[in-house]
Structure 1
């Protein structure tokens, strides 16, 4: 009988960073500009800096936890190991709303872009084609996914650079503030910090994806060193792209009154700055961003499902399987593709409403896991440095996440709670009303992946 393989440790630091940046989608800075400018009263780049600062606290907590538990399970594993197996399951279940539905959102976005260009083609054709491409690339292996994703991310970065050059030309010609480096996007005398914070709250959701790099912890040779760096670099690089892109956009467009569609500003920004040809180049980059995010999110959820399957809380034979040749959780990749295909039955608003809830659940419990593991369990809080890193920073991270909770749309909260309720029902079933543990917990990274290639050194195990 052929045994399941293990995930292959073949990804270096930068391919993982590119997967994280691709998940975040650099071009989203232009999609959300109108909304953010309205909320921040014309100070979008400052709002991005505040949002980045807020996210870096939670990114720090992710880095701490991945050093303790270098597993592909991310927030699910951290909560399971440090607080409660039952609660860990519910965190993983909730996080699925973020990870599992983002590929569907990307399929819907691709369908919207392509239907606008080719309105006579049935919408389902674009959904099916997009999902099939993403599924096949992910099934071929992590390296294929990472390489393709890197090309798409580079294309988006090139597009942002070209936009900045064109924006400088327009500023020199008197457009917008009429100077290349105006101070106004960062500061004006009548600026209100309350508006900046509201804008930052909206923009924090642009950073969703820096946490997804933790799901590649079992596919890099040195996860304890690589993944924390990848988390920080992903958030930081994304923050730089967002800040620079929004700064020059804000400089050229001090207010949003000239936009016909303030809630979807990308096409008009490109047209006003570079003309029709650049608009096509720009929109192609937006589509590339959708594909990159689709690849990264598809890969991430298949890894989360793999760990939950390996722990036997969802059917292990199906979800805990890794193909011995491609070293991918093949059934999970296909399963995610099938879920994504249901995008033909949903609207973008409904699919998107689930995502924020799952992400905030994960963020909250990663910060709490740092306190539970390092401060409460290991008693690492007696020195000033340990108290800062193991108590103060995660508390600040949790506080920032609490602000996001407060500003979460009611529809997202309602639908998220319905999904969480279903998770509780399933948990009650598998634990026989909490009389037994919901899973056979394993942390040995090679323990559940018994297929080891010849001449390959088995992974060193670590006890929880």
Structure 2
């Protein structure tokens, strides 16, 4: 392959971690607290701990696969290699559903906040302006996108720290706030398994996006070590941070009935604990966090489109092109930005439903890919390897089964329609399955630990 048409390795651990954190948007914890508190009967921090451990099993599966195939294709590539190019294409198509709609969700969230404060401004403007900013940020060197994201992430971390500090002050000066330390948010008499499962289904969305870091493998220095370290660190960081924040929120506000809109509880809490100045700063940070998340989301979808274009699954001259100077897939940035602009015709619920369908499809098949590739095909079956490549991914699939069972019916219908379109396209590019879907042959895979890798690639 011509080196001029390759992504350039520039990213270190901190860059990948920041982009992942930007995509998960640390301020999400405030958006979901109210509805999660109702679902969990006041045990949000407990369920965050549970959700973190549940997510870690899928994170470990991504870690195993990125070590084997450090490419930009993520689940699309892993399933290709473990199962079949056709199956990989369908999973990649489903993942597109997740990635394509992520920037839309951030834009729609901004529209909701800004339309409430500026009702006289056309709503579509709050969609177009953020997407233009997101796209421009991604058209520069990838480190420019990291710089944008770093600033926005630092703002979110700072405002979260101030929020917790104000909650602690509220607990100390307000006798009605209850004891400073309480086990109620972690365990109480009204805790039920159904409440925990209902809460996990809601709070699992907070972790969706960690997989996007694997799409940066071809732009990361030493990806087989850096990407796994960043993915695990991100999942643990988010789990611990969200647990701490929601603990103090839950102790101060155990009853959601006091809020006019429980789904927007944090917006009502902010002026109560910090006044209108803090509430304004809090709102500004929420807007900024959504722009940051949009930048990271579009960065990821552009890399997935690049992987599919390079494979010639999508037209290579467009989707597989990277600029020689900056080393970014600029056409994919433009295309994903245009797609995101269709958010003016969607609502937040519809876009979020499609994201969950695509994400859970990718997660499920990546877990299965670990089992098939390592345990079945490469016969990694020692006691340690059995846990890593059989038990762990199957536990991940079990947790995902809970998510599938509780998924919104609309998401299942829309996802099925999307996948049917992908299946029809697959019939076209394979000439009714006479040929397998195109698949990239890796020339420069790094640090592959399996001694059978070369033979396996030749068989494929």
- Verify same fold: TM over 0.5: yes
Residue in 2 aligned with 1:451? none
Q: Matched residues in 2 for 1:390 and 1:351: separation?
A: 33
Structure 1, 53-62 or 127-136: larger mean CA deviation: 127-136
Q: 8 Å contact 1:301–1:336 — kept in the other structure?
A: yes
C-alpha contact 1:22 1:289 (8 A) present in aligned 2: yes
CA contact (8 A) 2:114 2:126 kept: yes
Match of 1:238 in 2: 238
Residue number in structure 2 paired with 1:405: 404
Distance 1:288 1:427, change over 3 A: same
Give 1:276's aligned residue. Answer: 276
SS of structure 1 residue aligned to 2:263: coil
Q: Which residue of 2 aligns with 1:185?
A: 185
Deviations 1:321-340 (A, max 9, x none): 01111111100011011111
Alignment of 1:331-350 (within 5 A): 331-350=331-350
Offset, 1:205: 1.1
Is 1:38 aligned to residue 56 of structure 2?
no
Q: Tell me: CA distance 1:53–1:176, structure 2 relative to 1, closer, same or farther (3 Å).
A: farther
Bigger mean CA offset, 45-54 vs 17-26: 17-26
User: Superposition pairs for residues 271-310 of structure 1, below 5 Å?
Assistant: 271-310=271-310
The answer to whether the 8 Å contact 1:311/1:439 transfers is: yes
Equivalent residue, structure 1, for 2:67: 67
Please state how far the C-alpha of 1:177 moved relative to its aligned partner: 4.0
Q: Distance in 1 between matches of 2:177 and 2:52?
A: 25
Q: Is 1:135 equivalent to 2:122 in the alignment?
A: no
User: Separation in 1 of the partners of 2:145 and 2:176?
Assistant: 40
Once the two structures are superposed, residues 310-354 of structure 1 have per-residue CA deviations (whole angstroms, 9 ceiling, x without a partner) of 011111110000111111110001101111111112122222221
Q: Distance in 2 between matches of 1:197 and 1:337?
A: 36
Contact 1:71 1:445 in 2 (8 A): no
CA contact (8 A) 1:21 1:237 kept: no
Instruction: Extract unaligned runs of 5+ from structure 2.
Output: 446-452
Which one is further off, 346-355 or 297-306? 346-355
Q: Is the 8 A contact 2:34 2:266 kept in 1?
A: no
2:41–2:190: 8 Å Cα contact kept in structure 1?
A: no
Aligned residues: 448
Query: What is the aligned partner in structure 1 of residue 253 from structure 2?
Result: 253
Corresponding residue number in structure 2 for 1:394? 393
Rounded to whole Å, the distance in 1 between the matches of 2:159 and 2:243 is 15
CA distance in 1, matches of 2:176, 2:376: 54
CA distance in 2, matches of 1:131, 1:4: 28
Alignment partners' CA distance in 2, 1:32 and 1:56: 20
Task: Report the equivalent of 2:449.
Answer: none
Judging changes above 3 Å, is the alpha-carbon distance between structure 1 residues 176 and 409 closer, same or farther for their aligned structure 2 residues? farther
Relative to total residues, which structure has the larger helix share, 1 or 2?
2
Question: Equivalents in 1 of 2:433, 2:292: separation in Å?
Answer: 41
Task: Give the C-alpha shift of residue 440 in structure 1.
Answer: 4.2
Gaps in structure 1 of 5+ consecutive residues = 447-460
> 1:415 maps to what in 2?
414
Alpha-carbon contact 2:323-2:330 (below 8 Å) kept: yes
**Native 8 Å contact 1:75 1:92 kept in 2:** yes
**Which digits, 9 at most, give the CA deviation of each residue in 1:147-184, with x for residues without a partner?**
11011111101111001110011111236642222221
Query: C-alpha distance in 2, partners of 1:64/1:390?
Result: 9
Seen in structure 2, the aligned counterparts of structure 1 residues 363 and 49 have a Cα distance that, compared at 3 Å, is: same
Q: Which moved more, 1:268-277 or 1:208-217?
A: 268-277
Q: Within 5 A, what are the aligned runs for 1:186-205?
A: 186-205=186-205
Shift of 1:3: 8.4
Q: Distance in 1 between matches of 2:99 and 2:318?
A: 18
On the 8 A contact 1:176/1:253 being kept in 2, the answer is: no
Q: Contact 1:175/1:252 (CA < 8 Å) preserved in 2?
A: no
Trace 1:418-433 onto structure 2 (pairs within 5 A): 418-433=417-432
Q: CA separation in 1, counterparts of 2:28 and 2:19?
A: 16
What's the RMSD between the two structures over aligned residues?
1.6
Q: Report the CA distance between 1:437 and its aligned residue.
A: 1.6
| Alpha-carbon distance between aligned partners in 1 of 2:161 and 2:221, rounded to the nearest angstrom | 33
